[in-house]
Structure 1
């Protein structure tokens, strides 16, 4: 059924003509069986929703890592690089704090297992994603040497992106009775030349790696002794890059929390579905740098309305595929999902669109258009819209606004 719904979503997106309507979407509010956006299969029963509510109230240790999925992710990464955090249970106790200290010491960070800074965790997770997505296979290293190899590659600007390369298709063996294959015809020169022409306006997965960029930003943040604040900001461009990478990390963490409730699909199948979702939204991503914020948002709402799908399901799909897009460095999926979330009534995600337009990841760089998205996102927060990135950091909007002003 899930694949039939994907086909239906493709068809309705392609035939969209109706007028848009604004709809509020919050993936955490719906209960019961659902198919999220016709792309990712959810089966969230009342008992699962109750567990999610219980997880959200679980106490937080002094290290700042919740004793839930984020703690488990950190333990998994620490164990992967040989720091031995013990059993992966999400509970940040003495063993995990000791592992954090060993990681901090090896990286040259201040050693304090109770004070695990966000930039320290972000770099650890980026290295883990890289290692598990091909870095370990390409370097033939493991444990701490693998982490150090990743840091050296980031420092020299040669780190491979977190996105894995597509696996080659298996070739059927030739039996003894098989007829010899006909020689392949020579390609026509005109066809070859046409296929080789680049598209200067193509967004999507080509171009520089955002994963590499954020890893480099985290290293510089470490050198600076922590994140830029209003009081010490001297480089507004770098401050915006830091906030971009922070927002990316938060989006990934939120999407991974949602993925815990996906049933009936393997992680690889979720990745494939999100890649398909990104392909559906790619035309909107391609034109994002050529149109105003109002027009881009209106067109995306039209696509969502004409799909005939529940706005809550589309929003939940977008949150999952936003996380997967960032993890896989698939900018069609990431940028398209962020744009869709804005169209579904969650303006705080417009900050991500602004960052992409400012730095040119997945779209053509347009700093003038980026300011439209930044301004709208911050104005929505001023008007009481829910913050989705670092909600506990009350001065973050002022930091963003000050950095924006100085870079204009």
Structure 2
């Protein structure tokens, strides 16, 4: 049962009279906490830091020039650029002159248009995919480093070579916080001794979506940018581009949420999400033989039986969606997207449609994919919040046109 893997743990946050705690509605910021995999609380530390900063601000009368904002994507970019020898400087998430100069060096070496102030998403995505590959076994397999290692990754993507798989790494022991009605301890060992899937192995034994998206991003680079409504000539490729874009956006969002998880290493989060994926695997397997209505009914029953709040399930799913994509674990990724739809976020149905159309993690069923696409786009038309590239206002029109032409 799902409750064996997910347990809600209340998080007691101290309140002060001068700076009252404000409840935040976003998934990574729920006061009650959310749980990844069922045994660890999801504690929030950012509120306390922000309160401290707010108190400091009220005690000073001096005016400071606002600095460059620090972002998770900025830090990831700096980390990858430094790894491949482009020297972005200190990893602080602040994309200043040094980082932009490093971006320009990366763009020049890849043959992209050179402008550190115009770092296109496909350029960022390819850099991150190369970094994940290199740090999860590619560097050890090739014995290369720096820019030659990045060029080797590009060569393997271009030639369709089998990318070096990451070695299997045992998960670290996970501290267990038992609920009031604790399950027998024999079940705990099964969860805590799971091994992490390798980055490019395909978590369910199927083809690698990470490899696929690396190839798509490389073709996007060759094409000079993303497909638009005005230049679309290959609707299938346009849908694949949007699939990989949505995947990258989900990964970035989930990694932001993971910054709020206290007391867990990324490997421990990954192990918990691996268990979450195993739990949702039957629902994922049934996607290829069930209508959208049937699939949602089954996942809602599972959620209801758990006794957990929709907020906790949604928070867990957003973290495990990102981790599933990062580790190429399709049960975790597809199952999390399915759970998010069931929890009232229909825009995530687009991901289920993409998986059914291309056959990643599920059997290919383009007819069923259209049900998920239609429902997701109809929800956006009706005012549902866009969760992928919300600033790209014409994206729903592009998806709908590509859907129609690809049938």
Same fold (TM over 0.5): yes
Q: State whether residues 6 and 39 of structure 1, in contact with CA within 8 Å, keep that contact through their aligned partners in structure 2.
A: no
Deviation at 1:399, TM superposition (A): 0.1
TM-score by length of 1: 0.80
Q: State whether residues 44 and 260 of structure 2, in contact with CA within 8 Å, keep that contact through their aligned partners in structure 1.
A: yes
Matches within 5 A, 1:1-400: 8-9=4-5, 26-28=26-28, 30-36=30-36, 38=38, 41-45=41-45, 47-48=47-48, 50=50, 67-160=70-163, 164-167=166-169, 205-400=204-399
Partner Cα distance (2:262, 2:35) in 1: 10
Moved more, 134-143 or 90-99: 134-143
Misfit runs of 4+, over 3 Å: 32-37, 48-51
Q: State whether residues 10 and 280 of structure 1, in contact with CA within 8 Å, keep that contact through their aligned partners in structure 2.
A: no
Q: State whether residues 37 and 273 of structure 2, in contact with CA within 8 Å, keep that contact through their aligned partners in structure 1.
A: no
Partner Cα distance (1:258, 1:237) in 2: 32
TM-score by length of 2: 0.81
Partner Cα distance (2:264, 2:383) in 1: 36
Deviation at 1:37, TM superposition (A): 6.3
User: Judging changes above 3 Å, is the alpha-carbon distance between structure 1 residues 372 and 34 closer, same or farther for their aligned structure 2 residues?
Assistant: closer
* SS in structure 2 of the partner of residue 287 of structure 1: helix
Structure 2 unaligned blocks of 5 or more = 8-24, 55-65, 172-201
Q: State whether residues 296 and 342 of structure 2, in contact with CA within 8 Å, keep that contact through their aligned partners in structure 1.
A: yes
Deviation at 1:165, TM superposition (A): 3.4
What is the RMSD computed on CA atoms of the aligned residues? Answer: 2.5
* SS in structure 2 of the partner of residue 44 of structure 1: coil
**Higher RCO (C-alpha 8 Å, min separation 6):** 1
Q: State whether residues 159 and 212 of structure 1, in contact with CA within 8 Å, keep that contact through their aligned partners in structure 2.
A: no
* SS in structure 2 of the partner of residue 43 of structure 1: coil
Q: State whether residues 34 and 44 of structure 1, in contact with CA within 8 Å, keep that contact through their aligned partners in structure 2.
A: no
User: Per-residue displacement from partner, 1:327-383 (whole Å, max 9, x unpaired)?
Assistant: 100101100110011011110100000000000000000000000000000000011
Partner Cα distance (2:6, 2:117) in 1: 48
Deviation at 1:88, TM superposition (A): 0.6
Partner Cα distance (2:39, 2:389) in 1: 28
